[in-house]
Amino acid sequence: MHVRFCVDDFMAFIEIPKIPVLHGEEAVEVLNQKIDEFQQEKGKRLTEKQAEALTIAANQMILMIRSEPPTEKLHVSDRLGFFKRLRSSQR
């Protein structure tokens, strides 16, 4: 995919790399690797709070991936219901 942008009357094209779409346990594996990276970078390139926030977000994504039926595509309203249940279970 190419995107055109203009800065001070200078027009340029940049290429945006294609991002792979991961599903199921493949996505969980990548997220677990990222969690390990966040923990390794704590106190270096990331603050304690940043590493913790990213770890929490990745763990929440893992919970969502594992709670979805593997072969069904959920309707948007089903996904919203899932988020409401997730939010209420964390209280």
In a domain, 53, yes or no: yes
Q: Which range of residues forms the domain containing residue 37?
A: 24-89
In a domain, 15, yes or no: no
Question: 38, 54 in Cβ contact below 8 A?
Answer: yes
At 62, give phi and psi (nearest 5°).
-60, -45
Is 90 exceeded by the pLDDT of residue 33? yes
Provide the whole-model pTM.
Answer: 0.57
In a domain, 19, yes or no: no
What are the tens digits of pLDDT across the range 55-81?
999 999 999 999 877 555 555 555 556
Question: 52, 26 in Cβ contact below 8 A?
Answer: no
In a domain, 6, yes or no: no
In a domain, 11, yes or no: no
In a domain, 72, yes or no: yes
Question: 70, 55 in Cβ contact below 8 A?
Answer: no
In a domain, 5, yes or no: no
Q: How many domains does the chain have?
A: 1
